[in-house]
Protein backbone atom coordinates (compact mmCIF):
# COMPACT_ATOMS: atom_id res chain seq x y z
CA UNK A 1 0.00 0.00 0.00
CA UNK A 2 1.24 3.53 -0.82
CA UNK A 3 1.00 5.95 2.10
CA UNK A 4 1.22 9.65 1.23
CA UNK A 5 1.37 12.51 3.74
CA UNK A 6 2.26 16.17 4.18
CA UNK A 7 5.04 16.68 6.75
CA UNK A 8 5.24 19.71 9.12
CA UNK A 9 7.64 21.50 6.75
CA UNK A 10 5.10 21.39 3.95
CA UNK A 11 6.86 18.68 1.93
CA UNK A 12 4.84 15.90 0.31
CA UNK A 13 6.21 12.52 1.38
CA UNK A 14 5.22 8.97 0.52
CA UNK A 15 6.13 5.45 1.54
CA UNK A 16 5.30 2.03 0.16
CA UNK A 17 4.19 0.01 3.18
CA UNK A 18 5.26 -3.63 3.30
CA UNK A 19 2.55 -6.29 3.59
CA UNK A 20 3.40 -6.79 7.27
CA UNK A 21 2.25 -3.27 8.13
CA UNK A 22 -1.36 -2.25 8.33
CA UNK A 23 -2.99 1.16 8.17
CA UNK A 24 -6.40 2.31 9.29
CA UNK A 25 -8.42 2.89 6.11
CA UNK A 26 -10.53 5.61 7.73
CA UNK A 27 -7.43 7.46 8.92
CA UNK A 28 -5.86 7.09 5.48
CA UNK A 29 -8.97 8.50 3.80
CA UNK A 30 -8.97 11.52 6.11
CA UNK A 31 -5.28 12.16 5.57
CA UNK A 32 -5.70 11.89 1.82
CA UNK A 33 -8.56 14.40 1.88
CA UNK A 34 -6.52 16.77 4.04
CA UNK A 35 -3.58 16.38 1.70
CA UNK A 36 -5.69 17.27 -1.34
CA UNK A 37 -7.07 20.33 0.44
CA UNK A 38 -3.58 21.49 1.42
CA UNK A 39 -2.29 21.05 -2.12
CA UNK A 40 -5.20 23.04 -3.53
CA UNK A 41 -4.65 25.78 -0.94
CA UNK A 42 -0.95 26.02 -1.81
CA UNK A 43 -1.78 26.05 -5.51
CA UNK A 44 -4.21 28.95 -5.13
CA UNK A 45 -1.73 30.87 -2.99
CA UNK A 46 0.94 30.43 -5.64
CA UNK A 47 -1.39 31.55 -8.44
CA UNK A 48 -2.44 34.60 -6.43
CA UNK A 49 1.20 35.47 -5.72
CA UNK A 50 2.09 35.16 -9.40
CA UNK A 51 -0.85 37.40 -10.36
CA UNK A 52 0.32 40.05 -7.90
CA UNK A 53 3.89 39.84 -9.22
CA UNK A 54 2.64 40.18 -12.79
CA UNK A 55 0.50 43.17 -11.85
CA UNK A 56 3.39 44.88 -10.05
CA UNK A 57 5.69 44.18 -12.98
CA UNK A 58 3.20 45.72 -15.42
CA UNK A 59 2.85 48.79 -13.23
CA UNK A 60 6.62 49.16 -12.98
CA UNK A 61 7.08 48.89 -16.75
CA UNK A 62 4.33 51.45 -17.39
CA UNK A 63 5.88 53.84 -14.88
CA UNK A 64 9.22 53.58 -16.66
CA UNK A 65 7.37 54.18 -19.91
CA UNK A 66 5.91 57.38 -18.47
CA UNK A 67 9.42 58.64 -17.80
CA UNK A 68 10.45 57.86 -21.37
CA UNK A 69 7.44 59.68 -22.81
CA UNK A 70 7.64 62.72 -20.53
CA UNK A 71 9.22 65.59 -22.53
CA UNK A 72 9.70 67.61 -19.33
CA UNK A 73 12.13 65.02 -17.96
CA UNK A 74 15.89 65.48 -18.47
CA UNK A 75 17.02 63.61 -21.57
CA UNK A 76 19.44 61.50 -19.51
CA UNK A 77 16.50 60.09 -17.51
CA UNK A 78 14.53 59.36 -20.65
CA UNK A 79 17.47 57.51 -22.18
CA UNK A 80 17.90 55.44 -19.03
CA UNK A 81 14.20 54.62 -19.08
CA UNK A 82 14.54 53.52 -22.71
CA UNK A 83 17.50 51.25 -21.94
CA UNK A 84 15.60 49.69 -19.04
CA UNK A 85 12.52 49.02 -21.18
CA UNK A 86 14.73 47.48 -23.84
CA UNK A 87 16.29 45.17 -21.26
CA UNK A 88 12.99 44.13 -19.70
CA UNK A 89 11.33 43.44 -23.03
CA UNK A 90 7.75 42.31 -23.51
CA UNK A 91 4.65 43.75 -25.12
CA UNK A 92 4.11 46.50 -22.56
CA UNK A 93 7.68 47.75 -22.91
CA UNK A 94 7.35 47.81 -26.70
CA UNK A 95 4.10 49.78 -26.48
CA UNK A 96 5.77 52.34 -24.20
CA UNK A 97 8.66 52.72 -26.64
CA UNK A 98 6.37 53.00 -29.66
CA UNK A 99 4.45 55.92 -28.13
CA UNK A 100 7.65 57.95 -28.01
CA UNK A 101 7.99 58.16 -31.80
CA UNK A 102 5.81 61.28 -31.57
CA UNK A 103 8.59 63.06 -29.70
CA UNK A 104 10.45 66.01 -31.24
CA UNK A 105 13.95 64.65 -30.61
CA UNK A 106 15.42 62.84 -33.60
CA UNK A 107 18.25 61.64 -31.40
CA UNK A 108 15.83 59.90 -29.05
CA UNK A 109 13.62 58.51 -31.81
CA UNK A 110 16.50 56.94 -33.70
CA UNK A 111 17.53 55.25 -30.44
CA UNK A 112 13.97 53.96 -29.99
CA UNK A 113 14.16 52.23 -33.36
CA UNK A 114 17.55 50.73 -32.59
CA UNK A 115 16.34 49.31 -29.28
CA UNK A 116 13.26 47.75 -30.88
CA UNK A 117 15.51 45.89 -33.31
CA UNK A 118 17.81 44.65 -30.56
CA UNK A 119 14.87 43.38 -28.48
CA UNK A 120 14.25 40.69 -31.13
CA UNK A 121 10.50 40.74 -30.65
CA UNK A 122 8.23 40.31 -33.67
CA UNK A 123 5.67 42.58 -32.00
CA UNK A 124 7.85 45.54 -33.00
CA UNK A 125 7.53 44.92 -36.76
CA UNK A 126 4.34 46.99 -37.35
CA UNK A 127 5.82 49.89 -35.37
CA UNK A 128 9.13 49.87 -37.24
CA UNK A 129 7.32 49.48 -40.56
CA UNK A 130 5.23 52.56 -39.84
CA UNK A 131 8.36 54.57 -38.97
CA UNK A 132 10.18 53.45 -42.11
CA UNK A 133 7.19 54.37 -44.29
CA UNK A 134 6.68 57.77 -42.63
CA UNK A 135 8.53 60.23 -44.88
CA UNK A 136 7.86 63.01 -42.35
CA UNK A 137 10.31 61.31 -40.01
CA UNK A 138 13.95 62.36 -40.22
CA UNK A 139 16.00 60.06 -42.51
CA UNK A 140 18.18 59.15 -39.52
CA UNK A 141 15.13 57.74 -37.71
CA UNK A 142 13.89 55.93 -40.82
CA UNK A 143 17.38 54.53 -41.42
CA UNK A 144 17.45 53.11 -37.89
CA UNK A 145 13.99 51.59 -38.38
CA UNK A 146 15.19 49.88 -41.56
CA UNK A 147 18.27 48.56 -39.79
CA UNK A 148 16.11 47.31 -36.91
CA UNK A 149 13.88 45.41 -39.34
CA UNK A 150 16.99 43.83 -40.81
CA UNK A 151 18.13 42.91 -37.30
CA UNK A 152 14.81 41.14 -36.67
CA UNK A 153 15.58 39.08 -39.75
CA UNK A 154 12.15 37.76 -40.73
CA UNK A 155 11.88 36.66 -44.40
CA UNK A 156 8.47 38.31 -44.79
CA UNK A 157 10.12 41.71 -44.40
CA UNK A 158 11.82 41.37 -47.76
CA UNK A 159 9.00 42.97 -49.77
CA UNK A 160 8.97 46.04 -47.52
CA UNK A 161 12.75 46.47 -47.70
CA UNK A 162 12.74 46.07 -51.48
CA UNK A 163 10.22 48.91 -51.67
CA UNK A 164 12.60 51.30 -49.90
CA UNK A 165 15.97 50.15 -51.24
CA UNK A 166 15.91 53.10 -53.68
CA UNK A 167 14.43 55.64 -51.28
CA UNK A 168 15.25 59.31 -52.06
CA UNK A 169 17.00 59.50 -48.68
CA UNK A 170 20.38 57.88 -49.33
CA UNK A 171 20.77 56.75 -45.72
CA UNK A 172 17.44 54.92 -45.87
CA UNK A 173 18.12 53.35 -49.27
CA UNK A 174 21.57 52.06 -48.30
CA UNK A 175 20.27 50.69 -45.00
CA UNK A 176 17.49 48.75 -46.72
CA UNK A 177 19.97 47.34 -49.25
CA UNK A 178 22.17 46.06 -46.42
CA UNK A 179 19.14 44.67 -44.57
CA UNK A 180 18.03 42.80 -47.69
CA UNK A 181 21.44 41.19 -48.02
CA UNK A 182 21.36 40.23 -44.37
CA UNK A 183 18.01 38.49 -44.90
CA UNK A 184 19.49 36.63 -47.86
CA UNK A 185 22.51 35.64 -45.78
CA UNK A 186 20.29 34.38 -42.95
CA UNK A 187 18.25 32.33 -45.41
CA UNK A 188 21.34 30.52 -46.70
CA UNK A 189 23.59 30.23 -43.67
CA UNK A 190 23.66 27.03 -41.65
CA UNK A 191 23.34 27.21 -37.87
CA UNK A 192 26.73 25.53 -37.49
CA UNK A 193 28.36 28.27 -39.57
CA UNK A 194 27.04 31.21 -37.57
CA UNK A 195 29.78 33.52 -36.36
CA UNK A 196 29.76 34.39 -32.68
CA UNK A 197 31.11 37.67 -31.40
CA UNK A 198 32.06 39.08 -28.00
CA UNK A 199 30.02 42.19 -28.78
CA UNK A 200 26.49 41.94 -27.47
CA UNK A 201 24.36 43.04 -30.36
CA UNK A 202 22.77 42.01 -33.60
CA UNK A 203 24.91 43.60 -36.28
CA UNK A 204 23.68 44.77 -39.70
CA UNK A 205 26.06 42.21 -41.26
CA UNK A 206 28.00 39.21 -39.97
CA UNK A 207 31.79 39.46 -39.62
CA UNK A 208 33.79 38.31 -42.62
CA UNK A 209 35.58 34.96 -42.23
CA UNK A 210 38.73 36.72 -43.50
CA UNK A 211 41.26 37.62 -40.78
CA UNK A 212 44.06 39.23 -42.79
CA UNK A 213 44.03 42.96 -41.97
CA UNK A 214 45.46 44.02 -45.34
CA UNK A 215 42.80 42.10 -47.26
CA UNK A 216 40.05 43.31 -44.96
CA UNK A 217 41.17 46.91 -45.37
CA UNK A 218 41.12 46.50 -49.16
CA UNK A 219 37.52 45.29 -48.98
CA UNK A 220 36.60 48.01 -46.48
CA UNK A 221 37.82 50.80 -48.75
CA UNK A 222 36.72 49.31 -52.08
CA UNK A 223 33.62 51.29 -53.02
CA UNK A 224 32.93 48.93 -55.91
CA UNK A 225 32.11 46.27 -53.34
CA UNK A 226 28.61 46.09 -51.87
CA UNK A 227 28.06 47.87 -48.57
CA UNK A 228 27.17 44.49 -47.07
CA UNK A 229 30.60 43.06 -47.98
CA UNK A 230 32.32 46.16 -46.65
CA UNK A 231 30.31 45.98 -43.43
CA UNK A 232 31.41 42.37 -43.03
CA UNK A 233 35.02 43.47 -43.34
CA UNK A 234 34.36 46.25 -40.83
CA UNK A 235 33.00 43.91 -38.18
CA UNK A 236 35.83 41.46 -38.73
CA UNK A 237 38.35 44.28 -38.17
CA UNK A 238 36.44 45.23 -35.04
CA UNK A 239 36.69 41.70 -33.70
CA UNK A 240 40.46 41.58 -34.31
CA UNK A 241 40.99 44.62 -32.09
CA UNK A 242 44.63 45.20 -33.03
CA UNK A 243 46.42 48.48 -33.70
CA UNK A 244 46.52 47.57 -37.40
CA UNK A 245 42.79 46.83 -37.53
CA UNK A 246 41.95 50.05 -35.66
CA UNK A 247 44.05 52.09 -38.09
CA UNK A 248 42.29 50.35 -40.98
CA UNK A 249 38.91 51.25 -39.50
CA UNK A 250 40.11 54.82 -39.07
CA UNK A 251 40.66 54.96 -42.82
CA UNK A 252 37.01 53.95 -43.17
CA UNK A 253 36.03 57.38 -41.84
CA UNK A 254 37.20 58.75 -45.21
CA UNK A 255 34.64 56.71 -47.19
CA UNK A 256 32.11 58.55 -49.35
CA UNK A 257 29.03 57.04 -47.66
CA UNK A 258 27.89 58.86 -44.51
CA UNK A 259 26.06 55.72 -43.45
CA UNK A 260 29.30 53.77 -43.71
CA UNK A 261 31.28 56.40 -41.80
CA UNK A 262 28.72 56.51 -39.01
CA UNK A 263 28.96 52.73 -38.66
CA UNK A 264 32.75 52.97 -38.34
CA UNK A 265 32.32 55.48 -35.51
CA UNK A 266 29.74 53.17 -33.94
CA UNK A 267 32.20 50.27 -34.08
CA UNK A 268 34.85 52.39 -32.37
CA UNK A 269 32.33 53.02 -29.59
CA UNK A 270 31.85 49.30 -29.19
CA UNK A 271 35.57 48.66 -29.01
CA UNK A 272 36.15 51.37 -26.38
CA UNK A 273 39.80 51.50 -27.36
CA UNK A 274 41.80 54.66 -26.69
CA UNK A 275 43.71 54.13 -29.93
CA UNK A 276 40.61 55.22 -31.85
CA UNK A 277 40.31 58.62 -30.11
CA UNK A 278 42.24 60.63 -32.74
CA UNK A 279 39.94 59.35 -35.51
CA UNK A 280 36.79 60.09 -33.51
CA UNK A 281 37.99 63.50 -32.40
CA UNK A 282 38.70 64.49 -35.99
CA UNK A 283 35.24 63.32 -37.12
CA UNK A 284 33.47 65.19 -34.32
CA UNK A 285 35.37 68.44 -34.86
CA UNK A 286 34.72 68.45 -38.61
CA UNK A 287 31.75 70.82 -38.91
CA UNK A 288 31.27 69.79 -42.55
CA UNK A 289 30.77 66.15 -41.53
CA UNK A 290 27.29 64.60 -41.66
CA UNK A 291 25.44 65.06 -38.36
CA UNK A 292 24.82 61.31 -38.15
CA UNK A 293 28.58 60.65 -38.19
CA UNK A 294 29.37 63.36 -35.66
CA UNK A 295 26.63 62.07 -33.37
CA UNK A 296 28.08 58.56 -33.46
CA UNK A 297 31.62 59.90 -32.94
CA UNK A 298 30.48 61.85 -29.87
CA UNK A 299 28.75 58.81 -28.47
CA UNK A 300 31.83 56.66 -29.07
CA UNK A 301 34.01 59.18 -27.23
CA UNK A 302 31.52 59.07 -24.37
CA UNK A 303 31.86 55.29 -24.31
CA UNK A 304 35.67 55.41 -24.15
CA UNK A 305 35.34 58.03 -21.40
CA UNK A 306 38.97 59.03 -20.84
CA UNK A 307 39.97 62.50 -19.65
CA UNK A 308 40.81 63.39 -23.24
CA UNK A 309 37.34 62.32 -24.38
CA UNK A 310 35.77 64.38 -21.63
CA UNK A 311 37.63 67.50 -22.72
CA UNK A 312 36.54 67.01 -26.33
CA UNK A 313 32.91 66.59 -25.29
CA UNK A 314 33.12 69.63 -23.04
CA UNK A 315 34.25 71.83 -25.91
CA UNK A 316 31.95 74.86 -26.07
CA UNK A 317 29.73 73.09 -23.55
CA UNK A 318 28.60 76.44 -22.11
CA UNK A 319 25.95 76.68 -24.83
CA UNK A 320 22.54 76.25 -23.19
CA UNK A 321 19.89 74.29 -25.02
CA UNK A 322 16.25 75.27 -24.73
CA UNK A 323 13.87 72.76 -23.19
CA UNK A 324 12.68 70.45 -24.61
CA UNK A 325 15.79 69.64 -26.57
CA UNK A 326 15.37 70.33 -30.31
CA UNK A 327 15.45 67.81 -33.09
CA UNK A 328 17.92 67.62 -35.94
CA UNK A 329 15.43 69.53 -38.09
CA UNK A 330 15.27 72.47 -35.70
CA UNK A 331 18.97 72.34 -34.98
CA UNK A 332 20.45 73.02 -38.38
CA UNK A 333 19.76 76.80 -38.48
CA UNK A 334 21.33 77.19 -35.02
CA UNK A 335 24.69 75.63 -35.81
CA UNK A 336 27.70 77.93 -36.05
CA UNK A 337 30.69 76.81 -38.15
CA UNK A 338 33.01 76.50 -35.14
CA UNK A 339 30.60 74.87 -32.68
CA UNK A 340 30.73 71.22 -31.71
CA UNK A 341 28.18 71.04 -28.92
CA UNK A 342 25.60 73.06 -30.86
CA UNK A 343 25.27 70.36 -33.49
CA UNK A 344 23.38 67.94 -31.28
CA UNK A 345 21.98 67.73 -27.77
CA UNK A 346 24.02 64.54 -27.57
CA UNK A 347 27.13 66.18 -26.10
CA UNK A 348 25.14 67.46 -23.14
CA UNK A 349 23.54 64.07 -22.64
CA UNK A 350 26.86 62.26 -22.81
CA UNK A 351 28.45 64.56 -20.26
CA UNK A 352 25.58 63.84 -17.88
CA UNK A 353 25.34 60.11 -18.53
CA UNK A 354 28.75 58.76 -19.40
CA UNK A 355 31.21 60.98 -17.55
CA UNK A 356 30.10 61.66 -13.93
CA UNK A 357 30.39 58.32 -12.16
CA UNK A 358 28.36 59.62 -9.23
CA UNK A 359 25.38 59.80 -11.59
CA UNK A 360 25.41 56.10 -12.40
CA UNK A 361 25.85 54.48 -9.01
CA UNK A 362 27.70 51.19 -9.05
CA UNK A 363 27.24 50.48 -12.74
CA UNK A 364 30.15 50.53 -15.13
CA UNK A 365 29.70 52.97 -17.97
CA UNK A 366 29.90 51.70 -21.53
CA UNK A 367 28.11 52.51 -24.77
CA UNK A 368 24.51 51.63 -25.37
CA UNK A 369 25.35 49.48 -28.36
CA UNK A 370 28.11 47.05 -27.36
CA UNK A 371 26.69 44.61 -29.88
CA UNK A 372 27.09 40.79 -29.95
CA UNK A 373 26.07 38.73 -32.94
CA UNK A 374 22.79 37.87 -31.23
CA UNK A 375 22.74 34.33 -32.59
CA UNK A 376 22.85 32.58 -29.23
CA UNK A 377 19.19 33.13 -28.44
CA UNK A 378 18.99 30.56 -25.62
CA UNK A 379 21.69 32.35 -23.67
CA UNK A 380 20.02 35.69 -24.41
CA UNK A 381 16.64 34.50 -23.15
CA UNK A 382 18.19 33.10 -19.98
CA UNK A 383 19.90 36.39 -19.30
CA UNK A 384 16.71 38.32 -20.01
CA UNK A 385 14.91 36.16 -17.47
CA UNK A 386 17.58 37.11 -14.94
CA UNK A 387 17.04 40.78 -15.71
CA UNK A 388 13.32 40.60 -15.00
CA UNK A 389 14.19 39.44 -11.48
CA UNK A 390 16.57 42.35 -10.91
CA UNK A 391 15.30 45.33 -8.92
CA UNK A 392 14.78 48.25 -11.27
CA UNK A 393 16.98 51.23 -10.79
CA UNK A 394 19.99 49.49 -9.26
CA UNK A 395 22.09 49.17 -12.38
CA UNK A 396 21.37 45.45 -12.59
CA UNK A 397 22.37 42.97 -15.25
CA UNK A 398 21.64 43.92 -18.82
CA UNK A 399 20.51 41.15 -21.19
CA UNK A 400 22.02 43.05 -24.11
CA UNK A 401 25.37 42.73 -22.30
CA UNK A 402 25.83 46.44 -22.50
CA UNK A 403 26.47 48.48 -19.41
CA UNK A 404 24.15 51.33 -20.22
CA UNK A 405 23.55 54.07 -17.68
CA UNK A 406 21.07 52.51 -15.25
CA UNK A 407 17.62 53.78 -14.39
CA UNK A 408 18.40 55.65 -11.18
CA UNK A 409 16.40 58.15 -9.20
CA UNK A 410 13.29 57.94 -11.37
CA UNK A 411 10.12 58.73 -9.48
CA UNK A 412 6.88 56.90 -10.08
Binding region for Fe cation: 110-111, 143-144, 262-263, 295-296
Cis peptide before 208 (omega within 30 of 0): no
Q: Are 270 and 368 in contact, with CB atoms under 8 Å apart?
A: no
Give the span between the Cα atoms of 292 and 7, in whole angstroms. 66
Cα 382 to Cα 93, 109, 144, distances in angstroms: 18, 28, 27
Q: Residue 364: is it exposed, middle or buried by C-beta count within 10 angstroms (0-12/13-18/19+)?
A: exposed
Residues within the annotated binding site? 110-111, 143-144, 262-263, 295-296
Helix (H) or strand (E) holding 268: helix 258-271
**Distance (Å, rounded) from C-alpha 100 to C-alpha 263?**
24
DSSP state of 222: -
Give 280-333 as a 3 state SS string: HHHHHHCCCCCHHHHHHHHHHHHHHCCHHHHHHHHCCCCCCCCCCCCCHHHHHH
Sort residue 3 into left (φ over 0), alpha (ψ -120 to 50) or beta: beta
13 φ/ψ angles, rounded to the nearest 5 degrees = -125, 155
CB 207 within 8 A of CB 177: no
- Contacts for 207 with CB less than 8 Å, ≥ 6 apart: 195, 197, 232, 235, 236, 238, 239, 373
Amino acid sequence: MLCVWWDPKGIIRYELLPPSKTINSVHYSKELTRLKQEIEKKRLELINRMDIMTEVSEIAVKNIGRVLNDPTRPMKQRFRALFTLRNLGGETAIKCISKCFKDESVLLKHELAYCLGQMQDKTAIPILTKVLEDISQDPIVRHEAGEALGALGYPELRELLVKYQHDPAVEVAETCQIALQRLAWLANVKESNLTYSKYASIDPAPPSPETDVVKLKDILMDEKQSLFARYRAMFSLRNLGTTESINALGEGLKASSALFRHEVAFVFGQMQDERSIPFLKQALEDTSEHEMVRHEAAEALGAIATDECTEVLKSEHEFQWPSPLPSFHNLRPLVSPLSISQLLPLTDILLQIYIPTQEVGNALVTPRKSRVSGQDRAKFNKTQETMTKTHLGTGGHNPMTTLDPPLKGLQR
